[in-house]
Amino acid sequence: MSKPLVIVESPAKIRTLQKHLGKEYNVAATVGHIMDLPSKEIGIDIDNGFKPKYTHIPGKTKVITALKKAAGNTFDIYLAPDPDREGEAIAWHAAEALKKKGRRFHRVLFHELTKTAVLEAIKSPMELDPNKYEAQKTRRILDRLVGYRISPLLWRKVKGGLSAGRVQSVTVRIICERERAIHAFVSEEYWSITALLEADAPPPLTAKLTKKNNKKIAIPNQEASSAIVNELANEKYIVDKVVKKTTKKNPPPPFITSKLQQEAINKLRFTAKKTMMVAQRLYEGVDLGPGEPVGLITYMRTDSVRISAEAANEALAFIKETFGGEYAPAKPRFFKNAKKAQDAHEAIRPTSVFNSPEKIASSLTKDQLSLYTLIWKRFVASQMSHALIDKVSITVKAGAYQFSAGGSTVKFPGFMALYTPSDAEKETAKKQLPKLREGMELAPKKIEPKQHFTAPPPRFSEASLVKELEENGIGRPSTYAAILSTIRNKGYVDFISGYFRPSELGFIVNDLLVENFPDVVNVDFTARMEDTLDKIEAASESAPDVLSKFYGPFNEKVDAAVTDMLNIKGVGFSTELKCPECGVSLHLKVSKYGPYLACDAYPDCSYTSDYVRDEKGVIKPMESQSAAQAVQQNCSKCDSPMVVKRGKFGEFLACSKYPDCKNTLSINSGHNGKTTGVKCPEKKCAGDVVERKSKRGKIFYGCSAFPECKFATWDKPIAQGCPQCDSIYLLEKTTKKSGTRRVCPDKACGYTSEKII
């Protein structure tokens, strides 16, 4: 009889689990999902209760064969994929692949990969959870219905290779709406007045004008500002009130997934995707010594702040031993979950606080140590005493005017001796104030008026977008990293200087989806659907009923869109611009090479142009040098005028008699060739990467500063930062097997995008 088999998702866990379980068990991995809906058909029997047609994922045959071999003739199989909905689906599919007469399947949940937790889970197995599996299956069906019904419409109406997604499309809409709010914003002028006042002893007091005659003051322009400054010149500055109070500041709870991503982005400059990759490794196990793999954190996909009493008490013991009794409260601190939080897992915490970052630093990579330190400090701080903050609020009167100043100092650091959240760092910054008493006269040393302008709403960073998704109930914490990667890889958004901006393609696709599928890309609708999936997991909603209610109206919208959705390949969006050649309206269209402007009088008028949007979002045609050259150049084969065309690699000249004459000519900008828009990555080089040709005529890419700079590559550089590391560009690689993909030039990073062509 074969040994009992434990099945996990990731091969990285095998060694850790084998160490904890010993030789009495075999351990194998599914390497993610082994079954899914088929890739070449919708795979859902809509008329039969939306029954999914699951098939083995191509390429997983060897994995399934290896699982069957590992199972042998054992009776007991312990299904231990990750403790979430996706893990539950993997467990069900593994059981389906390995079912055998007399064989028993047990579900075990490893919330942390420590020996105690692993052995306890094996001793207390559960049944597979049909409700959790049903919730995951429903989500997969919903995503497939949306993707497989809408994406072909986009292929026909806009461009091949596009996709729509139930969550990704809403995320793109959020980014587009923020960008349009920025475009529509009209900045307004306002002024502030600050007084630098001196008391009997330093430091001076910096106070801001806030009121006149006890009413909030607004200073619209320089004229109003100057008038106030003139009035203040003759006033005495008297301390009206000095209010001192000590406030308590409680520590934040341990991390949930979304908060970990936000804090890692803000403090460590990690991406959301990188955060989850590093956290996964810490969870799966790290060698702390020869043959000693240890899972260092609890499961990293969670929206619960719950922690075990054992972990809290261990933290208290550590705090008393390390910081002293005054830093430890009398009893453990437990936090209340948000209403929508699923409570399947604990918060993200170290599996043992005694594995301090300093103690295990030599066993971790730089990134692992940085993230582990963040998680460890946040958890330990959550069990420490509150901080005491002394706050001082000062009011100074100058005739009818009132100035205000304030500051805070830390009376007792409490948890802040170890950890301060990034959103509280400015709040607790020390600010020195002079000792003042009410009625004291202050000497004005400087009255400084300053001009300001109201600012538009900011673009989303990764951290603020994750926060926006979380607050609106879009997706789940475990999906945020994938969402942010997907919308970039699909070309719907650009990530420039740390902020998301919609691409032209993103604007176009978003506008079409909002017009034709307002519910699918509606923030509230999507959030309600996430709540509904939770209800299916809790067995308070029926999956077939949910799918039926969704599909009826959705199917009607799809049928209507087949005829009603605007064809961007053909008609295109109308604009207010007129054709410079014939005066007819210009329309915004999309070819397989990207968006462009075209005359609506085509084929009578063949005017086309690239375009840009100004800071207000107004479309501006781009008249390139190549267009001017085209007017002056005739075809070398038939003497007909050459015209500018757009291709995969940009503009080129083509004979106007095409297809009768197929002569073309490349357009180069300068002796170095076309620029790629990528700055030379070599240190201390200010050159640009441009297209060049080898002696044999093969295209490669090199620095414009050659021969001083020798940088060169055969792969085309793309002006897009790597979503996983700090590389300022990606390379476009094409192979017969994988097609065209964008990859990181840093082999240690290993980032590869989805297939583009």
64 pLDDT more than 60: yes
pLDDT above 70 covers a percentage of the chain that reads 93
| 697 φ/ψ sector (left φ>0, alpha ψ -120 to 50, else beta) | left
pLDDT in tens, 286-308: 988 777 788 999 999 888 899 98
Question: Residue 600 in contact with residue 584, Cβ under 8 Å?
Answer: yes
Residues 493-499, mean pLDDT to the nearest whole number: 88
pLDDT in tens, 274-287: 999 999 999 988 98
Give phi and psi for 675, each to the nearest 5.
-80, 150
Give phi and psi for 712, each to the nearest 5.
-160, 150
pLDDT in tens, 317-336: 999 999 999 999 999 999 98
Spatial separation of the C-alpha atoms in residues 112 and 91, rounded to whole Å: 18
What pLDDT does 344 receive? 66
Instruction: Name the average pLDDT for the chain.
Output: 88
State the DSSP code for 592. T
- Residue of 133, 299, 596, 729 marked active site: 299
What pLDDT does 629 receive? 44
399 pLDDT more than 90: yes
* 654 against 531, higher pLDDT: 531
Least confidently predicted of 179-193, 456-470, 586-600: 586-600
What pLDDT does 651 receive? 59
Spatial separation of the C-alpha atoms in residues 2 and 25, rounded to whole Å: 9
CATH number of 189-250+387-453: 2.70.20.10
CA-to-CA separations, 232 to 225, 485, 627, in angstroms, rounded: 11, 55, 62
Burial of 568 (0-12, 13-18, 19+ CB in 10 A): buried
Least confidently predicted of 251-255, 278-282, 408-412, 449-453: 408-412
Alpha-helical (H) ranges within 407-522 are: 462-471, 480-489, 504-516
218 pLDDT more than 90: yes
Spatial separation of the C-alpha atoms in residues 493 and 472, rounded to whole Å: 20
Residues 224-232, mean pLDDT to the nearest whole number: 96
What pLDDT does 555 receive? 95
CATH number of 5-128: 3.40.50.140
Clarify whether 611 is annotated catalytic: no
pLDDT in tens, 616-636: 889 988 754 444 444 456 787
Q: How confident is the model at residue 586 (pLDDT cuts 50, 70, 90)?
A: very high
Q: Which residue has the tokens 């969704």?
A: 550
State the DSSP code for 267. I
Domain boundary assignment for the chain: 5-128, 138-185+458-564, 189-250+387-453, 257-382, 573-666, 675-743
Q: Which residue has the tokens 């301060």?
A: 420
State the DSSP code for 152. H
CATH class of the structural domain 138-185+458-564 = mainly alpha
Cβ neighbours of 270 (radius 10 Å)? 25
Q: What is the CA radius of gyration of the chain?
A: 32
Give phi and psi for 556, each to the nearest 5.
-65, -40
pLDDT in tens, 104-129: 999 999 988 888 999 999 999 999 99
Q: How confident is the model at residue 646 (pLDDT cuts 50, 70, 90)?
A: low
Spatial separation of the C-alpha atoms in residues 606 and 598, rounded to whole Å: 7
Find, among 6, 515, 460, the residue nearest to 272 by Cα: 460
| 412 φ/ψ sector (left φ>0, alpha ψ -120 to 50, else beta) | beta
What pLDDT does 630 receive? 42
What pLDDT does 476 receive? 81
What pLDDT does 707 receive? 66
pLDDT in tens, 693-722: 775 667 888 887 776 778 889 888 988 888
Find, among 336, 339, 351, 340, the residue nearest to 300 by Cα: 351
CATH 1.10.290.10 fits 257-382, yes or no: yes
Q: How confident is the model at residue 611 (pLDDT cuts 50, 70, 90)?
A: confident
pLDDT in tens, 150-178: 999 999 999 888 889 999 999 999 999 99
649 pLDDT more than 60: no
What stretch of H or E contains 366?
helix 366-382
Residue environment code for 119-128, b if the CB has 16+ CB neighbours within 10 A, otherwise e = eebbeebeee
* 376 against 684, higher pLDDT: 376
Spatial separation of the C-alpha atoms in residues 610 and 625, rounded to whole Å: 12
Residues in the chain: 757
340 pLDDT more than 80: no
Question: Residue 34 in contact with residue 64, Cβ under 8 Å?
Answer: yes
What pLDDT does 431 receive? 67
Give phi and psi for 77, each to the nearest 5.
-120, 125
670 pLDDT more than 60: no
Q: Cα(first)–Cα(last) distance of the chain, in Å?
A: 50
